[in-house]
Amino acid sequence: MTTALRDEIVYFTAFPLIPVILHYFFSGCFRCRIGNRWIVLSLYGLYTACHMALHHIQLPGLFLLAANTGLIMGVTFFYQGSLLWRLYSSLFVTALIFLSDAVIPLSYTDTGYLISLLLSKLLILLFVFVLLKVVKSNGRGDLAGWYWCLLFLSPLLSIAALVRLSDNLFFQSYPQLFPVVPVLLLAINLLIFVLSDRIMCVQTEQARRKLLEQQNTYYANQYLMTRNMQEEAFKFKHDFKNILLGLRARLAAGDEDKSIHELDRLLGANDTSAGSCSTGNLVIDSMINYKEQVAGNSNIPFRLEVNIPPDLLLDTTVMSVILGNALDNAIEAVKSIPEKAGLERYAAIHMHYLNDSLFLRIRNPYDHDIRTGLYGELRSSKPDTGAHGIGLQNIRRAVEEYGGLLDITYDSGVFQVEIVLFNIQRQHTA
């Protein structure tokens, strides 16, 4: 058996630890999209086959590194989470593998070579194990654009620096000192990864608190509207007998016109409800009624067609993100239309429930240009794009995490958002 063949066998023996480490790392940072473990195993088998094929192709080292990095990036699409965070994680784990291999010096014997490969893989596994003990963001959160640039450059520059320093005359003269370089680079990358995770955790917590504040505002507004309705009903009930006595006296005196006018006035005064939306579902009613009040301040009427059971078991946080952001966007778009522009100002909301699925459609006119990004994603038309334009992103993320469908269309001056949420159960009462 030739030396080259023995090296290949040793390499193939140690490499299966890499797919195990990748799945362990990515499933710890993100949520796997695939529930069937055999499908996951097959996909990682395909990744291993592609890596082995690249290993036997005579390519320059830089191209080979880029191709293997691309394979790891492809693996991240098996998992759910922020796209930028998943791409950065793939670059980070590539640098982790590259630098860990450089930390363990290779031996020139078959047994020593195998031990070196196994030790480098176990070192990677140790780093991943420690990281997963402190990582908490689970791929959620957003960072500023410049921070993403720093994150992406960190592993790339680490690999480039290691390659560059490997040819340095000093380290060629003192090879025993070379492992210090990948150790320092590993420490830097691990620190940056943990710090970025902490920042995203803080942002996620702030977003969660903001949602809770919005939910409390919706419920408090709905409570006040309901209390006002009850107070009016109690007042009317208290005076009802006296009012009837007065009407009886007027009718007995033949004053029918004033009696009819008084009845009309009373019917109008008693037509007080706890908001236009009164499905009986507190989550939906409170949000729509609160947003209707906000829109009413800008003379934007709501057109409601809401037919849902009152006993739907809805996730309050998910509905706050989806319905709250969608209505905010609709109100903002209509507010930008001048009242004398000749274009009708409104926000139309349609909701219905069928076959354990909740269907939502929100339509509104607009008169501004729709801006899109490089990949067709919608961008905010406001100057401060950093502070605006995240509403639709949050809606899309919430719908995807809930396993629903989202469709956004804009044509002939009408913007429309359609959402379907599946497996919405009803509360079973005994």
How high is the pLDDT of residue 376? 52
CATH 3.30.565.10 residue spans of the chain: 277-430
Tell me the pLDDT tens digit for each residue of 118-176.
888 888 888 888 888 887 766 566 666 677 788 888 888 988 888 888 777 777 777 77
Question: According to the model, what pLDDT value does residue 53 have?
Answer: 87
* Structure tokens, 425: 């159960």
**In this predicted structure, what is the pLDDT of residue 60?**
80
Closest by CA to 304, choosing from 345, 217, 362, 358, is: 362
Residue 314 has phi, psi (to 5 degrees) of: -105, 140
User: Bridge-partner residues for 306, per DSSP?
Assistant: 351
Residues recorded for the chain: 430
CA–CA gap between residue 106 and residue 355 (Å, rounded): 62
Look at the pTM and tell me if it is higher than 0.85: no
Provide the pLDDT for residue 117. 77
Pairing of strands 378-379, 371-372: antiparallel
Structural tokens at position 128: 């991943």
Report the C-alpha gap between 285 and 222 in whole angstroms.
Answer: 8
In this prediction, residue 271 carries a pLDDT of: 45
Task: Dig out the tokens for 124 from the structure.
Answer: 């990677």
Q: What is the 3-state secondary structure (H, E, C) of the chain?
A: CCHHHHHHHHHHHHCCHHHHHHHHHHHHHCEECCCCHHHHHHHHHHHHHHHHHHHHCCCCHHHHHHHHHHHHHHHHHHEECCHHHHHHHHHHHHHHHHHHHHHCCCCCCHHHHHHHHHHHHHHHHHHHHHHHHHCCCCCCCCCCHHHHHHHHHHHHHHHHHHHHHHCCHHHHHCHHHCCHHHHHHHHHHHHHHHHHHHHHHHHHHHHHHHHHHHHHHHHHHHHHHHHHHHHHHHHHHHHHHHHHHHHHHHHHCCCHHHHHHHHHHHHHHCCCCCCCCCCCCHHHHHHHHHHHHHHHCCCCCEEEEEECCCCECCCHHHHHHHHHHHHHHHHHHHHCCCCCCCCCCCEEEEEEEECCEEEEEEEEECCCCCEECCCCCEECCCCCCCCCCCHHHHHHHHHHHCCCEEEEEEECCEEEEEEEECCCCECCCC
The domain 277-430 is classified under which CATH number: 3.30.565.10, 3.40.1640.10, 3.30.70.260, 3.10.129.10? Answer: 3.30.565.10
**Rounded to whole angstroms, what are the CA distances from 332 to 58, 295, 306, 380, 395?**
57, 9, 22, 11, 16
Dist. CA 232–CA 226, nearest whole Å: 10
Q: Which residues of the chain have pLDDT under 70?
A: 1-7, 10, 105-113, 137-145, 229, 232-248, 250, 258-259, 262-275, 341, 371-390, 428-430
Separation CA 288–CA 277 (nearest Å): 7
Residue whose pair of structure tokens reads 């060629």 in the numeric block = 172
Residue 278 CA to residue 289 CA, distance in Å, equals 9
pLDDT of 304: 92
Tokens of 207: 């977003």
